[in-house]
Amino acid sequence: MKISTKLFNQQQVNTFSKLTENIQNLQSKISSGKNFVSASDDPVAAAELSGLNTVKERFNQYSENAMSGINRLNIADASLQSITNLMVRARELTIQAANDTFGAIDREALALELDEMKKEMFSVANAVDSKGAFIFGGYHTKNQPFTLNKDNRIEYVGDRGTNSVAVSESRTVGTTLDGGSVFMNVINNDEVTPMFEVLEDIIYSIRTANESVVEAKAVGKATLQVENGNPGNFSFTLADSSGSANISVDLPGSDISGIVTAINSAGLTISASLSGSTITLTDSGNGPITISDLQVEGITKAEKTPKSYLTFNAIDGSGNTLAKEQRMYDKNQSVQNRLDDIKIVQEHLANQRAIIGARTSSLERHLDLIAERKIAVEKDISDVSEADLAELVTTLQSQITGLQASQQAFVKISDLNLFQFIR
C-alpha cells in the first residue's frame, strides 16, 4: 500500500499526540496519587468507587447514630442515678421521721426537705439532651413531658414511644425511655403508682405522724372512738396480756356497734361497751390493752388529710383521761410503711437503669463493629482509587522514552528523499 508523505506525517503527529496525552495522564495520576482523575479514565472503577463511598457514608451515619444514642442514654442514666440518690436520702429522712424522739418541728423540717426533693425529681424528669430534646417524652421530644395540672399535681403529657437509631442495615436500638414507664408506672401493692406520689405519701405520713401512733396502749381501761370517713371494713389487732385477736367489722355508716360485738366475741379478757359514739374497753385483770395494725378498706396509700381513724384514750376507773389522746390511722398512713414504698421505687429504678445499660452496651458493640467495617471498606476504596506510584513512574519513563524515540525516528525519516538515493 502506498503511503503518501502527507499521510505519514499525519500518522506520526497522531502518535505523538497520543503519547503526549498518555504522559500527561500519567503525570496527573502521579501528582494526585489516584488511579484515575476523572470517571472517563476508568468508568468501571469509577462506578465501583462510587458504590464503596456510598457504603462508607452509610457506615459514618451508623457511627454517628450510635454515638448520639450513647450520649442520650448516658444522660438518661445520669438522670435516674440522681433520682436513685434522692430515694436514698428519702429513706434516711423516713427512718428519722419514724423515731419517736422527733417532735412536730423536726418532722416538718424533714417534710420540707422532701418537698424540695419532689421539685428536683420533677426537674430531672424534664431533662434534655445536648440538642435540647426531652429525654423522657417518648416521641414528643420537643414538648415538656411533665407538667403541673390545675390541681398542682404532676402529670405526664408525653407518649409511650421509644426513639431508636439505626446502627446497621437490619438493627435499630432504642435511645430513650418514655416518662410514663419510668416515673408513672411504679408497681406498688399490685397498683400502678407515680413516683411523685410515693414522695407525696412520705410527706403526708411524716406530717400526720405528729399526731398518730403505730400502737395505742392503755392499762386496765380505755375509750375508743371511730371516725368513719371511708365507709367500709375496719380491721385492727386487739391484744391483752394473754394474746391477741383480729377485729374486723364492716362499718357502712355511723353505727359502730359491730365493733363492740366483735370485741366481746374475741375471747379476750377485754370487754367493750357502747355509750353514744364512744366505746369503753375494760380489761378484767386490769392488764394491758393494745390496738395496732389498723386497716381501712379503700385506703391503699397515705392521705394528705386522713378521713378515717381511731382515737384511743387511757382512762382511770372514774373515766378521767390519764394521758394525751392516741390517734391511729390506717397502716398505709404510717411512716414505717413508706420504707417498703421506697424499696419498691429503688427496685423500679434499678430495672430501668438495667434497660439503659443493656442498650448502651449494644450501641458500644455496634460502634466497634462499624469501625471494623469502615476499615475494610476504606481498604477497598484505597485498592480501587490509590495509584501504585512505582508502577506509574516506570510506565511514565517508558512512555517518555517511546515518545523521544518516535520523535527521533520521525526526524530521520523526514530527512530522507529520492535525491539522496540517486547520489
Residues 6+ apart with CB under 8 A from 207: 107, 108, 111
Strand ranges (E), 158-258: 164-166, 172-174, 186-188, 191-193, 215-219, 221-228, 232-239, 244-251
pLDDT value at position 413? 60
| Whether 363 contacts 173, CB under 8 Å | yes
Per the DSSP assignment, residues forming a β-bridge with 308 are 228
Q: What is the pLDDT of residue 209?
A: 80
What is d(CA 80, CA 86) in angstroms, rounded to the nearest whole number?
A: 10
Q: Contact at 8 Å (CB) between 300 and 191?
A: yes
Domain range summary for the chain, segments of one domain joined by +: 1-33+387-423, 57-206+338-371, 213-330
Neighbours of 50 (CB within 10 A): 12
pLDDT of residue 107: 87
What is the DSSP secondary-structure string of 29-62?
A: HHHHTBS-SSGGG-HHHHHHHHHHHHHHHHHHHH
186 - beta bridge partners? 193
pLDDT tens across the length of the chain (423 residues):
555 566 655 665 666 566 565 556 655 555 554 555 555 556 766 676 677 778 788 888 999 999 999 999 999 999 999 999 999 999 999 988 887 777 788 888 999 999 999 999 999 999 998 889 999 998 888 999 999 998 888 999 988 888 899 998 889 999 988 999 999 988 876 778 899 999 999 999 888 887 788 889 999 999 999 998 888 899 999 999 989 999 999 998 888 999 999 999 999 999 999 999 999 999 999 999 999 999 999 888 888 889 999 999 999 988 898 888 899 999 888 888 888 889 999 999 999 999 999 999 999 999 999 888 888 877 776 666 555 445 555 665 666 666 566 656 666 666 555 445 455
CA distances from 207 to 24, 96, 102, 108, 218 (A): 91, 13, 12, 6, 25
Q: For residue 388, what pLDDT is reported?
A: 46
0.75 exceeded by the pTM? Answer: no
Q: Which of 337, 353, 344, 269 is nearest to 303 (CA)?
A: 337
Q: Which class would CATH give 57-206+338-371?
A: mainly alpha
Residues 70, 363 contacting (CB under 8 angstroms): yes
